[in-house]
Amino acid sequence: MKPTSFKSTCCYCGVGCGVVVTKESNGQLSLEGDKEHPSNKGMLCSKGMNLHYTVMDQSDRLLYPQMRMNRSMPMQRVSWDDALERTAAVFKTFIKKFGPDSVAFYVSGQCLTEEYYLVNKLIKGFIGSNNIDTNSRLCMSSAVMGYKLALGEDSVPVCYDDIEAADVMYVTGANPAWCHPIIWRRIEAHKAANPNVKIICVDPRRTDTARSSDLHLQIIPGTDIVLNHAIGRLLIENGYVDNEFILDHTDGFQAYCEKVMQRTIAEAAELCGVAKADIELAADWIGQSRGFLSFWTMGLNQSVIGVNKNLSLINLHLITGRIGTPGNGPFSLTGQPNAMGGRETGGLANILPGHREVANAAHRREMEDFWGSPVEIGSKPGLTATEMFEALADDKLKAIWIINTNPLVSMPDMNAVESALKKARFVVVQDVSNRADTVHFADVVLPASAWLEKEGTMTNAERRITHLPKVVNAPGEALPDAEIIWRFAAKMGFGDSFNYSSASEVYDEYVKVTAGTSIDVTGVSHAVLQQKRSVQWPFPAEADTFDQKNNNARLFTDHQFYTPNKRAQIHVVDDENRSEPVDEDFPLILTTGRIRDQWHTMTKTGRVARLNKHIPQPFLQIHPTDAAKRNISDGQLVTVRGRRGEVRVKAQVTEDVRPGLCFLPMHWGKILGSNGVRANNITSSLVDPRSKEPDFKFSAVEVSLY
């Protein structure tokens, strides 16, 4: 048999790099970057380069459905029919006795679009509950809300080609050098070819991104809005605003002016802990630029004021008119590979497919009619990620079905989450790996097919949709996630509406619901994607004849926004942080984040030996001044204690964090053998009131020698 090559997409971060997978005659896989893919042009980062090892090493795979009648019993191997019939029986019992809101699905930004769509259809359109949320709630929901409030919809307006058209990159609350490396390489290459390009990094930590930037604004955590307002004030005072754009295409500028004039630049500099001259320099670079591109991720999103942080940044684009033109715009870097695709299908507790809203009666009727729903879709949002676990603890939620995510490592306030899962009456875990900590709390375990073992689509950070083919068979009895859902729907009695035989059929149904919406993809199918390799949305039916070059790479080129009056909204936001306070007992701020070669909870990357070499053990970064006060030396074991829990970890004494700040990576869980270095034992349970995204970046702690 000759080697065969397949084009797919990396399933780690939202950059969405194209890969070419070659299946050798002996069945072994090799992998390289796809030179023809517009998102990465052949480049891959360390995680992407080693992706095929996660497919070839099947030592940790869940192979068969398993269940147990109570938690004190061991898991037993059962048939798919037995597992799904029991799950359906339990769900039906709870729904009959306690109502449809007694059950919930908690899914993942790693799910394919078809999977997301089916789970949404099942619970919202057939079970009659909006209790579906995704781990994207932990990463992108503040950006989603920011875009919706400012631009009218959850719409990333830019594309990767804007990088080469920009001359100022404002990277704030993000470390793309480690977390979105291929985007960072494009930025670095652009700067190398154009030395006048300026990179401004805003981060309380001196990361690799900060080290490579022209200006590092090492702000005090939680002061992002103060900084953005100060830059806004300087842009106004120095005549860098676009008055014509503001007049013709925005609302809210006058109130914004009044707000940002309330603090002097000197006051802002003091509050942020940076030099006044540096804020002035940043404002000058932005004001004088031809292309102003801002990038952000979790530093803005994972915050109790995450939506306000997003709005304060988007405002800088709106007052300068730097949106909808080459090299200009606010670019939220998506954490997960298909977080955006999930939102397109309605994969959050408050939305419906096609960027519809559950709160909108017309939108609900459209979806009920389309699906032929036997129930009315509820008008209230369902439980969000953190609310689901609170509701399990309170016994308001009886059953949870967790798909391809590992909340026992990734959720905030982990001891509360662990306690909630122990109390839960029924837990279904659908996953690839037995390394997912949550498996140990399950009543039913369903083995899912992994990357390359199933087909479907994903949308990356620049709205680019690609097709992922099936290349190898799944081990044991593992099934594609979409098939598990449609089989379960049949067991629930909804078989006529879930009568699919392929992911392609599911996708064909999904695209119909986007007709006439701003994310119209009626011109897309698996066959079109296989032929064109990728397209960016919108891609309506008539676009099928377009050349890829003519595809809509950038939104709002006509400056007509998705708001009802087509004008962008400049929102006035409060600049005060509302995180939990530091005090005498907990005087330090803990922030969490990722390291270069690990992905999320390490169930995949943790199995690849060469990735583990980069940073093999968790660590706590602490500033020398704070370490000296506590007699802590580099490498010593310390206890990090917060209001909700503690961890023990080796100290890394470094000036890479500000005084008063500590950093702990978020990857390691309790069960994966790291002696309990689970950062989220400590993290704050506060969430942004609008996005419901947790405040992972600001928890009050004390550190002492162990």
Query: What is the binding site for ligand SF4 (CB under 6 A)?
Result: 10, 12-13, 15-17, 40, 44-45, 47-48, 180-182
Q: Are 174 and 191 in contact (CB under 8 A)?
A: no
Taking the complex as a whole, the smallest distance from the CB of residue 305 to ligand SF4 amounts, in Å, to 28
Taking the complex as a whole, the smallest distance from the CB of residue 176 to ligand SF4 amounts, in Å, to 9
Tell whether the torsion through CA atoms of 505, 508, 514 and 520 is positive or negative.
positive
Token output for 449 = 């097919």
Taking the complex as a whole, the smallest distance from the CB of residue 345 to ligand SF4 amounts, in Å, to 21
Nearer to ligand SF4, 10 or 572 (CB): 10
Token output for 246 = 């503001």
Taking the complex as a whole, the smallest distance from the CB of residue 51 to ligand SF4 amounts, in Å, to 7
Nearer to ligand SF4, 182 or 568 (CB): 182
Nearer to ligand SF4, 39 or 504 (CB): 39
Token output for 518 = 């701003």
Token output for 54 = 């996660």
Q: Are 461 and 334 in contact (CB under 8 A)?
A: yes
Paired residues of 76 in beta bridges:
67
Taking the complex as a whole, the smallest distance from the CB of residue 203 to ligand SF4 amounts, in Å, to 19
CA within 13 Å, CB half, 70: 1
Token output for 645 = 């829990």
Token output for 446 = 């369903």
User: How many residues does this entry show for the chain?
Assistant: 706
Nearer to ligand SF4, 48 or 204 (CB): 48
Nearer to ligand SF4, 182 or 421 (CB): 182
Cβ count within 10 A of residue 71: 12
Cβ count within 10 A of residue 425: 15
Taking the complex as a whole, the smallest distance from the CB of residue 529 to ligand SF4 amounts, in Å, to 17
Question: Which amino acid type is present at position 287?
Answer: G
Nearer to ligand SF4, 56 or 705 (CB): 56
Nearer to ligand SF4, 15 or 127 (CB): 15
Taking the complex as a whole, the smallest distance from the CB of residue 42 to ligand SF4 amounts, in Å, to 11
127 Cβ neighbours under 8 A, 6+ residues apart: 91, 95, 100, 103, 375, 492
Cβ count within 10 A of residue 392: 25
Question: C-alpha 382: how far from its chain's center?
Answer: 19
Query: What CA–CA distances, in Å, run from 161 to 166, 295, 329, 652?
Result: 9, 14, 12, 38
Nearer to ligand SF4, 48 or 342 (CB): 48
Taking the complex as a whole, the smallest distance from the CB of residue 671 to ligand SF4 amounts, in Å, to 24
Token output for 528 = 């079109």
Nearer to ligand SF4, 160 or 619 (CB): 160
Nearer to ligand SF4, 215 or 615 (CB): 615
Taking the complex as a whole, the smallest distance from the CB of residue 188 to ligand SF4 amounts, in Å, to 13
Longest dimension (CA), the chain: 72
Taking the complex as a whole, the smallest distance from the CB of residue 592 to ligand SF4 amounts, in Å, to 19
- The four Cα atoms 271, 272, 274, 278 give a dihedral, to 10 degrees, of -110
Nearer to ligand SF4, 12 or 696 (CB): 12
Nearer to ligand SF4, 48 or 222 (CB): 48
Tokens 């050798």, residue located: 24
Query: Could you give the angle at the alpha carbon of 210 between the alpha carbons of 206 and 213, nearest 5°?
Result: 155
Nearer to ligand SF4, 38 or 381 (CB): 38
Nearer to ligand SF4, 50 or 652 (CB): 50
- Angle, helices 80-98 vs 481-491, to 10°: value is 60
Tokens 């689970």, residue located: 678
Nearer to ligand SF4, 13 or 478 (CB): 13
Structure letter (DSSP) for residue 454: S
Q: Are 466 and 9 in contact (CB under 8 A)?
A: yes
SS3 438: helix
Q: Are 225 and 575 in contact (CB under 8 A)?
A: yes
198 Cβ neighbours under 8 A, 6+ residues apart: 167, 168, 169, 214, 215, 285, 289
Taking the complex as a whole, the smallest distance from the CB of residue 460 to ligand SF4 amounts, in Å, to 8
Q: What is the 3-state secondary structure (H, E, C) of 91-102?
A: HHHHHHHHCHHH
Nearer to ligand SF4, 109 or 221 (CB): 109
Taking the complex as a whole, the smallest distance from the CB of residue 54 to ligand SF4 amounts, in Å, to 12
188 Cβ neighbours under 8 A, 6+ residues apart: 212
439 Cβ neighbours under 8 A, 6+ residues apart: 62, 429, 431, 445
Token output for 391 = 């509701």
Token output for 255 = 């109130």
User: How far is Cα 347 from Cα 359, in angstroms, rounded to an integer?
Assistant: 15
Taking the complex as a whole, the smallest distance from the CB of residue 459 to ligand SF4 amounts, in Å, to 13
3-state helix, strand, coil in the chain (%, to 5): 35, 20, 45
Taking the complex as a whole, the smallest distance from the CB of residue 48 to ligand SF4 amounts, in Å, to 2
Nearer to ligand SF4, 15 or 666 (CB): 15
Query: What CA–CA distances, in Å, run from 201 to 106, 299, 679, 682?
Result: 34, 12, 25, 27
Structure letter (DSSP) for residue 251: E
When CB distances to ligand SF4 are compared, the closest residue is 48
Taking the complex as a whole, the smallest distance from the CB of residue 595 to ligand SF4 amounts, in Å, to 13
